[in-house]
């Protein structure tokens, strides 16, 4: 029996790779499903919720919250020939993506139609990479050079306790439900007194060592740490708090450690808002 696409015509596969034929059929402009599913997954990556939620649950009885928006995203993705960068640029430049987590109207309680941004914890890979960036430390992953990013780890069994604890999927299936986004007590305890944060702060050649060696004034410490962790300068009140705390610390390095630890454990750092 000749190979035939599901619901489609028989394909002439003479001398052709079946996988290439399948890819061409899935991404064909007249395929009404693949572009929508793909665009929906990209949307969910940035908003924490898909237009069709969950992205794997595509059926008539689970309609998208905004079908017109999903259709438009699919059209754009097709026009970009499935270049995700184009669609990512459109999403990130949109008013919807740039909204704050606090609704414009206190009466708005909707959590389904993207009336405001949703507070959500950074994914495991982004959080670990952010810790390494702020502390200027390097993490060693199996089969990757020292200093590689957690986002580059392709193996589902990464062997990294932090990634496993914070919900990185084992990639045993293609389902998005493999990733665990909910905060847990174990995650909180690990951030407070686990080895990951403490080792990163005290890493040889890291930011702490550099700032401590130069005996950097508290105002400059606050400015550098806030820019690297929050992408904003500290307020006058925050500067005053850091100045007061470091003045009462046993020594400059201990004060720096405590300030950096508090920043890495803050909600502003751990959560995307």
d(CA 239, CA 221): 9
Examine residue 171 and state whether it is found in any structural domain, yes or no: yes
Please report the pLDDT score of residue 159 as a whole number: 79
Examine residue 223 and state whether it is found in any structural domain, yes or no: yes
Report yes or no: 73 and 39 within 8 Å, Cβ to Cβ.
yes
- Specify the residue for token string 């649950």: 57
Please report the pLDDT score of residue 8 as a whole number: 66
Q: Verify that 78 and 202 share a domain, yes or no.
A: no
Examine residue 98 and state whether it is found in any structural domain, yes or no: no
Q: Verify that 188 and 125 share a domain, yes or no.
A: yes
Q: Name which of 157, 153, 176, 162 is nearest 124 in CA terms.
A: 162
Q: What is the mean pLDDT of residues 182-209?
A: 91
The secondary structure of 185-216, three-state, reads HHHHHHHHHCHHHHHHHCCCCCHHHHHHHCCC
Q: Verify that 87 and 183 share a domain, yes or no.
A: no
Examine residue 3 and state whether it is found in any structural domain, yes or no: no
d(CA 231, CA 209): 21
Q: What is the mean pLDDT of residues 131-140?
A: 93
Q: Name which of 61, 60, 63 is nearest 50 in CA terms.
A: 63
Please report the pLDDT score of residue 259 as a whole number: 92
Examine residue 106 and state whether it is found in any structural domain, yes or no: no
Residue 158 pLDDT exceeds 80: no
Examine residue 6 and state whether it is found in any structural domain, yes or no: no
The secondary structure of 69-128, three-state, reads HHHHHHHHHHHCCCCHHHHHHHHHCCCCCCCCCCCCCCCCCCCCCCCCCCCEECCHHHHH
245-260 per-residue burial string, b: 16 or more CB within 10 A, e: under 16: ebeeeeebbebbbebb
Examine residue 110 and state whether it is found in any structural domain, yes or no: no
Taking only the tens place, the pLDDT of each residue in 230-248 is: 999 999 999 999 989 988 8
Number of separate domains in the chain: 2
Token pair listed for 58? 């595509």
d(CA 102, CA 260): 27
Residue 171 pLDDT exceeds 70: yes
Token pair listed for 172? 């045993």
Please report the pLDDT score of residue 273 as a whole number: 66
Under DSSP, the state recorded for 153 is -
Q: Verify that 129 and 224 share a domain, yes or no.
A: yes
Residue 68 pLDDT exceeds 90: yes
Q: Verify that 128 and 73 share a domain, yes or no.
A: no
Q: Verify that 65 and 140 share a domain, yes or no.
A: no
- The band of 40, judged by pLDDT with boundaries at 50, 70 and 90, is very high
Q: Verify that 265 and 183 share a domain, yes or no.
A: yes
Q: Are strands 271-272 and 120-121 parallel, antiparallel or unpaired?
A: antiparallel
Q: Verify that 148 and 241 share a domain, yes or no.
A: yes
Q: Verify that 164 and 203 share a domain, yes or no.
A: yes
Token pair listed for 1? 């029996």
Q: Verify that 25 and 153 share a domain, yes or no.
A: no
Q: What is the mean pLDDT of residues 77-97?
A: 93
Examine residue 107 and state whether it is found in any structural domain, yes or no: no
Token pair listed for 25? 């059929």
d(CA 11, CA 29): 17
Q: Other C-beta atoms within 10 Å of 197: how many?
A: 19
Q: Verify that 199 and 151 share a domain, yes or no.
A: yes
Please report the pLDDT score of residue 179 as a whole number: 79
Range of 79's domain?
18-92
Please tell me the total number of residues recorded for the chain in this structure.
273
Report yes or no: 246 and 259 within 8 Å, Cβ to Cβ.
yes
pTM of the model as a whole: 0.80
Q: What is the mean pLDDT of residues 48-72?
A: 89
- The band of 11, judged by pLDDT with boundaries at 50, 70 and 90, is low
Please report the pLDDT score of residue 265 as a whole number: 94
Q: Verify that 133 and 264 share a domain, yes or no.
A: yes
Chain mean pLDDT for the chain: 87
Report yes or no: 39 and 74 within 8 Å, Cβ to Cβ.
yes
Residue 249 pLDDT exceeds 90: no
């Amino acid at each position: 029996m000749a190979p035939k696409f599901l619901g489609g015509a028989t394909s002439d596969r003479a001398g052709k790779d079946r996988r290439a034929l399948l890819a061409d059929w899935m991404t064909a402009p007249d395929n009404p499903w693949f572009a929508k599913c793909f665009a929906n997954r990209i949307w969910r990556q940035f908003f924490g919720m898909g237009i069709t939620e969950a992205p794997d649950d595509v059926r008539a009885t689970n309609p998208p919250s905004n079908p017109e928006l999903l259709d438009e995203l699919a059209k754009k993705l097709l026009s970009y020939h499935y270049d995700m960068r184009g669609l990512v640029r459109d999403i990130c430049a949109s008013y919807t993506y740039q909204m704050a987590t606090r609704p414009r109207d206190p009466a708005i309680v909707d959590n389904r139609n993207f009336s405001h941004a949703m507070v959500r914890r950074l994914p495991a890979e982004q959080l670990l990479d952010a810790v390494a960036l702020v502390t200027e430390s390097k993490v060693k992953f199996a089969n990757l050079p020292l200093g590689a990013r957690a986002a580059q780890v392709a193996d589902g069994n990464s062997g990294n306790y932090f990634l496993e604890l914070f919900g990185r999927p084992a990639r045993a299936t293609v389902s998005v439900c493999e990733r665990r986004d909910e905060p847990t007590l174990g995650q909180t305890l690990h951030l407070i007194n686990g080895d990951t944060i403490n080792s990163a702060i005290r890493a040889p050649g890291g930011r702490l060592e550099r700032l401590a060696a130069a005996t950097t004034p508290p105002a400059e410490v606050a400015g550098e740490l806030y820019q690297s962790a929050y992408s904003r300068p500290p307020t006058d009140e925050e500067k005053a708090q850091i100045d007061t705390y470091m003045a009462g610390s046993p020594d400059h390095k201990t004060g720096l450690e405590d300030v950096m630890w508090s920043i890495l454990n803050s909600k502003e750092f751990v959560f995307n808002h």
